[in-house]
Amino acid sequence: MSHTTHPIQEDDLHAYIDGQLDDARIIEVEAYLAVNPADAERVHAYRKQNEMMRKMFDPVAMEPVPAEIKGEVKRRSDSPRKVIAPILRYAAVVAWLVMGGVIGWILHGTEPTEPVRVATFAQQAAIAHVVYTPEVLHPVEVGADQEAHLVKWLSKRLGADIKAPSLVSVGYQLLGGRLLPGDSGPAAQFMYNNESGKRLTLYVRTKVKDNEATEFRFEQEGKVGVFSWKNGPVGYALSGELAKPELLTVANAVYHQIQP
Protein backbone atom coordinates (compact mmCIF):
# COMPACT_ATOMS: atom_id res chain seq x y z
CA MET A 1 0.00 0.00 0.00
CA SER A 2 2.40 2.65 -1.11
CA HIS A 3 -0.06 5.09 -2.63
CA THR A 4 -1.66 7.52 -0.25
CA THR A 5 -5.26 8.64 -0.17
CA HIS A 6 -6.42 11.90 1.31
CA PRO A 7 -8.21 11.44 4.61
CA ILE A 8 -12.00 11.69 4.36
CA GLN A 9 -13.15 15.19 5.27
CA GLU A 10 -16.52 16.61 6.21
CA ASP A 11 -16.85 18.06 2.68
CA ASP A 12 -16.44 14.58 1.19
CA LEU A 13 -19.38 13.28 3.19
CA HIS A 14 -21.64 16.05 1.88
CA ALA A 15 -20.42 15.68 -1.70
CA TYR A 16 -21.12 11.95 -1.33
CA ILE A 17 -24.71 12.65 -0.22
CA ASP A 18 -25.25 15.19 -2.99
CA GLY A 19 -23.80 13.10 -5.81
CA GLN A 20 -20.98 15.58 -6.37
CA LEU A 21 -18.10 13.16 -5.87
CA ASP A 22 -16.11 11.25 -8.48
CA ASP A 23 -16.32 7.46 -8.60
CA ALA A 24 -12.91 6.78 -7.06
CA ARG A 25 -13.62 8.99 -4.07
CA ILE A 26 -17.07 7.41 -3.60
CA ILE A 27 -15.39 4.08 -2.99
CA GLU A 28 -13.07 5.63 -0.41
CA VAL A 29 -15.96 7.36 1.37
CA GLU A 30 -17.95 4.13 1.47
CA ALA A 31 -14.99 2.29 2.95
CA TYR A 32 -14.65 5.02 5.54
CA LEU A 33 -18.34 4.94 6.44
CA ALA A 34 -18.23 1.18 6.87
CA VAL A 35 -15.93 1.61 9.86
CA ASN A 36 -17.24 4.94 11.19
CA PRO A 37 -20.80 4.26 12.29
CA ALA A 38 -21.36 7.70 13.81
CA ASP A 39 -20.59 9.42 10.51
CA ALA A 40 -22.56 6.78 8.61
CA GLU A 41 -25.55 7.62 10.77
CA ARG A 42 -25.15 11.32 10.04
CA VAL A 43 -24.91 10.66 6.32
CA HIS A 44 -28.08 8.60 6.52
CA ALA A 45 -29.89 11.39 8.39
CA TYR A 46 -28.79 14.10 5.95
CA ARG A 47 -29.79 11.99 3.00
CA LYS A 48 -33.20 11.50 4.56
CA GLN A 49 -33.50 15.29 4.98
CA ASN A 50 -32.99 15.70 1.23
CA GLU A 51 -35.52 13.01 0.37
CA MET A 52 -38.18 14.44 2.66
CA MET A 53 -37.62 17.99 1.39
CA ARG A 54 -38.20 16.82 -2.15
CA LYS A 55 -41.23 14.82 -1.17
CA MET A 56 -42.72 17.85 0.56
CA PHE A 57 -41.94 20.48 -2.01
CA ASP A 58 -41.82 18.74 -5.40
CA PRO A 59 -45.62 18.93 -5.67
CA VAL A 60 -45.37 22.74 -5.58
CA ALA A 61 -43.72 22.60 -9.00
CA MET A 62 -46.77 20.72 -10.28
CA GLU A 63 -49.38 23.18 -9.03
CA PRO A 64 -51.15 25.46 -11.47
CA VAL A 65 -50.14 29.11 -11.12
CA PRO A 66 -52.19 30.36 -8.16
CA ALA A 67 -55.08 32.79 -8.26
CA GLU A 68 -53.20 35.25 -6.03
CA ILE A 69 -50.67 35.89 -8.76
CA LYS A 70 -53.37 36.04 -11.39
CA GLY A 71 -55.33 38.51 -9.23
CA GLU A 72 -52.27 40.65 -8.74
CA VAL A 73 -51.57 40.61 -12.44
CA LYS A 74 -55.15 41.47 -13.24
CA ARG A 75 -55.05 44.47 -10.88
CA ARG A 76 -51.90 45.67 -12.59
CA SER A 77 -53.23 45.17 -16.09
CA ASP A 78 -56.53 46.84 -15.16
CA SER A 79 -54.92 49.88 -13.60
CA PRO A 80 -55.54 53.20 -15.34
CA ARG A 81 -53.37 54.51 -18.16
CA LYS A 82 -51.75 57.13 -16.00
CA VAL A 83 -49.64 54.41 -14.42
CA ILE A 84 -46.08 54.93 -15.59
CA ALA A 85 -45.14 53.01 -18.67
CA PRO A 86 -42.52 50.64 -17.23
CA ILE A 87 -44.97 49.27 -14.71
CA LEU A 88 -47.44 48.54 -17.47
CA ARG A 89 -44.72 46.85 -19.39
CA TYR A 90 -43.76 44.62 -16.49
CA ALA A 91 -47.37 43.91 -15.73
CA ALA A 92 -47.80 42.86 -19.32
CA VAL A 93 -44.86 40.54 -19.04
CA VAL A 94 -46.10 38.97 -15.85
CA ALA A 95 -49.55 38.64 -17.33
CA TRP A 96 -47.96 37.05 -20.33
CA LEU A 97 -46.09 34.61 -18.16
CA VAL A 98 -49.01 33.81 -15.92
CA MET A 99 -51.73 33.49 -18.51
CA GLY A 100 -49.94 30.70 -20.19
CA GLY A 101 -49.38 29.45 -16.69
CA VAL A 102 -47.97 26.06 -16.18
CA ILE A 103 -49.32 25.04 -19.56
CA GLY A 104 -47.77 27.91 -21.45
CA TRP A 105 -44.28 27.16 -20.38
CA ILE A 106 -44.28 23.88 -22.19
CA LEU A 107 -46.22 25.06 -25.22
CA HIS A 108 -43.30 26.73 -26.93
CA GLY A 109 -44.19 28.75 -29.95
CA THR A 110 -47.88 28.96 -29.13
CA GLU A 111 -49.43 32.41 -29.03
CA PRO A 112 -50.15 33.21 -25.41
CA THR A 113 -53.34 35.09 -26.15
CA GLU A 114 -55.90 32.62 -24.80
CA PRO A 115 -55.58 31.69 -21.17
CA VAL A 116 -55.75 27.96 -20.65
CA ARG A 117 -57.78 27.26 -17.55
CA VAL A 118 -57.71 23.56 -16.95
CA ALA A 119 -54.95 21.24 -18.02
CA THR A 120 -56.24 18.29 -19.98
CA PHE A 121 -55.20 14.82 -19.01
CA ALA A 122 -52.52 14.75 -21.73
CA GLN A 123 -51.25 18.17 -20.64
CA GLN A 124 -50.99 17.07 -17.03
CA ALA A 125 -48.93 14.14 -18.22
CA ALA A 126 -46.72 16.44 -20.30
CA ILE A 127 -46.16 18.78 -17.35
CA ALA A 128 -45.20 15.88 -15.10
CA HIS A 129 -42.87 14.68 -17.84
CA VAL A 130 -41.14 18.04 -18.17
CA VAL A 131 -40.78 18.53 -14.42
CA TYR A 132 -39.34 15.14 -13.53
CA THR A 133 -37.33 13.83 -16.49
CA PRO A 134 -34.50 16.39 -16.09
CA GLU A 135 -33.90 15.32 -12.47
CA VAL A 136 -30.44 13.81 -12.36
CA LEU A 137 -30.21 12.40 -8.89
CA HIS A 138 -33.81 11.58 -8.03
CA PRO A 139 -35.90 11.11 -11.14
CA VAL A 140 -38.06 8.58 -9.28
CA GLU A 141 -39.22 8.04 -5.71
CA VAL A 142 -39.01 4.27 -5.81
CA GLY A 143 -36.52 2.59 -8.12
CA ALA A 144 -37.04 -0.32 -10.48
CA ASP A 145 -35.03 -2.53 -8.12
CA GLN A 146 -38.13 -2.48 -5.92
CA GLU A 147 -40.61 -2.90 -8.74
CA ALA A 148 -43.00 -5.19 -6.85
CA HIS A 149 -43.18 -2.73 -3.96
CA LEU A 150 -43.55 0.20 -6.36
CA VAL A 151 -46.48 -1.36 -8.22
CA LYS A 152 -48.21 -2.42 -5.01
CA TRP A 153 -47.77 1.01 -3.45
CA LEU A 154 -49.03 2.95 -6.46
CA SER A 155 -51.96 0.55 -6.94
CA LYS A 156 -52.94 1.07 -3.34
CA ARG A 157 -52.72 4.86 -3.53
CA LEU A 158 -54.60 5.08 -6.80
CA GLY A 159 -57.17 2.49 -5.76
CA ALA A 160 -56.77 0.51 -8.97
CA ASP A 161 -54.61 -2.28 -10.29
CA ILE A 162 -51.70 -0.47 -11.86
CA LYS A 163 -49.02 -2.24 -13.86
CA ALA A 164 -45.58 -1.06 -14.90
CA PRO A 165 -45.41 -2.40 -18.45
CA SER A 166 -42.14 -3.92 -19.61
CA LEU A 167 -40.70 -1.95 -22.53
CA VAL A 168 -37.49 -3.92 -22.94
CA SER A 169 -38.70 -5.18 -26.33
CA VAL A 170 -38.69 -1.59 -27.60
CA GLY A 171 -35.40 -0.68 -25.96
CA TYR A 172 -36.51 0.99 -22.72
CA GLN A 173 -35.76 -0.03 -19.15
CA LEU A 174 -37.93 0.86 -16.17
CA LEU A 175 -36.18 3.41 -13.92
CA GLY A 176 -38.93 3.50 -11.29
CA GLY A 177 -41.91 5.62 -10.42
CA ARG A 178 -43.45 8.24 -8.23
CA LEU A 179 -46.76 9.37 -6.82
CA LEU A 180 -48.06 12.76 -7.94
CA PRO A 181 -50.99 14.99 -7.06
CA GLY A 182 -53.56 14.96 -9.86
CA ASP A 183 -56.69 17.01 -10.48
CA SER A 184 -58.98 14.38 -9.02
CA GLY A 185 -56.80 12.44 -6.63
CA PRO A 186 -53.36 10.93 -6.93
CA ALA A 187 -51.59 10.04 -10.15
CA ALA A 188 -48.67 7.72 -10.83
CA GLN A 189 -45.69 8.28 -13.07
CA PHE A 190 -43.42 5.51 -14.33
CA MET A 191 -40.16 6.57 -15.89
CA TYR A 192 -38.15 4.63 -18.48
CA ASN A 193 -34.88 5.27 -20.24
CA ASN A 194 -33.02 3.73 -23.15
CA GLU A 195 -29.31 3.10 -23.66
CA SER A 196 -28.60 6.63 -24.82
CA GLY A 197 -30.33 8.07 -21.74
CA LYS A 198 -33.54 9.18 -23.49
CA ARG A 199 -36.39 9.23 -20.99
CA LEU A 200 -40.07 8.42 -21.42
CA THR A 201 -42.81 8.64 -18.83
CA LEU A 202 -46.09 6.81 -18.44
CA TYR A 203 -48.63 8.83 -16.49
CA VAL A 204 -51.55 6.95 -14.95
CA ARG A 205 -54.59 8.40 -13.21
CA THR A 206 -57.93 7.04 -12.14
CA LYS A 207 -61.27 8.86 -12.37
CA VAL A 208 -60.41 10.21 -15.80
CA LYS A 209 -63.54 11.74 -17.27
CA ASP A 210 -64.74 10.96 -20.79
CA ASN A 211 -64.14 14.53 -21.91
CA GLU A 212 -60.50 14.34 -20.81
CA ALA A 213 -59.46 11.27 -22.77
CA THR A 214 -61.22 8.48 -24.59
CA GLU A 215 -59.75 6.72 -27.56
CA PHE A 216 -56.10 6.41 -28.42
CA ARG A 217 -54.86 9.80 -29.57
CA PHE A 218 -51.77 11.93 -30.05
CA GLU A 219 -51.07 15.47 -28.89
CA GLN A 220 -47.96 17.57 -29.22
CA GLU A 221 -47.30 19.74 -26.16
CA GLY A 222 -44.30 21.86 -27.11
CA LYS A 223 -41.36 19.52 -27.43
CA VAL A 224 -43.21 16.68 -25.74
CA GLY A 225 -45.35 14.23 -27.68
CA VAL A 226 -48.16 12.49 -25.75
CA PHE A 227 -50.18 9.41 -26.65
CA SER A 228 -53.14 9.01 -24.32
CA TRP A 229 -56.10 6.72 -23.95
CA LYS A 230 -58.58 5.51 -21.40
CA ASN A 231 -59.31 2.02 -20.18
CA GLY A 232 -62.43 2.15 -18.00
CA PRO A 233 -61.88 4.92 -15.45
CA VAL A 234 -58.10 4.66 -15.73
CA GLY A 235 -56.29 7.02 -18.07
CA TYR A 236 -52.83 6.38 -19.51
CA ALA A 237 -50.54 8.89 -21.17
CA LEU A 238 -47.14 8.12 -22.61
CA SER A 239 -44.92 11.20 -22.99
CA GLY A 240 -41.55 11.66 -24.64
CA GLU A 241 -39.47 14.00 -26.70
CA LEU A 242 -39.45 11.59 -29.62
CA ALA A 243 -40.66 11.67 -33.19
CA LYS A 244 -44.28 10.58 -33.43
CA PRO A 245 -43.64 7.21 -35.17
CA GLU A 246 -41.03 6.18 -32.57
CA LEU A 247 -43.29 7.19 -29.71
CA LEU A 248 -46.14 5.29 -31.34
CA THR A 249 -44.10 2.09 -31.34
CA VAL A 250 -43.61 2.40 -27.59
CA ALA A 251 -47.23 3.46 -27.01
CA ASN A 252 -48.40 0.35 -28.85
CA ALA A 253 -46.23 -1.83 -26.62
CA VAL A 254 -47.76 -0.21 -23.53
CA TYR A 255 -51.29 -0.37 -24.90
CA HIS A 256 -51.14 -4.08 -25.69
CA GLN A 257 -49.85 -4.95 -22.24
CA ILE A 258 -52.51 -2.96 -20.47
CA GLN A 259 -55.63 -3.75 -22.47
CA PRO A 260 -57.28 -6.94 -21.22
Residues engaged in binding other proteins (CB under 8 A): 10-11, 14-15, 18-20, 42, 45-46, 49-50, 52-63, 65-66, 68-69, 72, 90, 93-94, 96-97, 100, 102, 104-105, 108, 131, 135-138, 181
Instruction: Please check whether residue 200 is in contact with residue 126, taking contact to mean a CB–CB distance below 8 angstroms.
Output: no
Nearest-approach distance from CB 151 to other proteins, in angstroms: 17
Of 24, 21, 23, 41, the closest CA to residue 33 belongs to 41
Q: Which is nearer to other proteins, 33 or 213 (CB)?
A: 33
Q: What angle do CA 61, 52, 173 make, to 5 degrees?
A: 70
Spatial separation of the C-alpha atoms in residues 56 and 197, rounded to whole Å: 27
Nearest-approach distance from CB 172 to other proteins, in angstroms: 24
Q: How many residues does the chain have?
A: 260
Instruction: Please check whether residue 107 is in contact with residue 222, taking contact to mean a CB–CB distance below 8 angstroms.
Output: yes
- What residues have CB less than 8 Å from 161, skipping those under 6 apart? 155
Spatial separation of the C-alpha atoms in residues 180 and 166, rounded to whole Å: 21
Nearest-approach distance from CB 85 to other proteins, in angstroms: 13
Give the torsion sign (CA, 94, 99, 102, 104): negative
Bridge partners, residue 185, by sequence: 182
Q: Which is nearer to other proteins, 18 or 30 (CB)?
A: 18
Amino acid at 118: V
Nearest-approach distance from CB 153 to other proteins, in angstroms: 10
Nearest-approach distance from CB 253 to other proteins, in angstroms: 30
Amino acid at 97: L
Q: Which is nearer to other proteins, 171 or 207 (CB)?
A: 207
Q: Which is nearer to other proteins, 143 or 181 (CB)?
A: 181
Nearest-approach distance from CB 86 to other proteins, in angstroms: 8
Q: Which is nearer to other proteins, 57 or 245 (CB)?
A: 57
Q: Which is nearer to other proteins, 57 or 210 (CB)?
A: 57
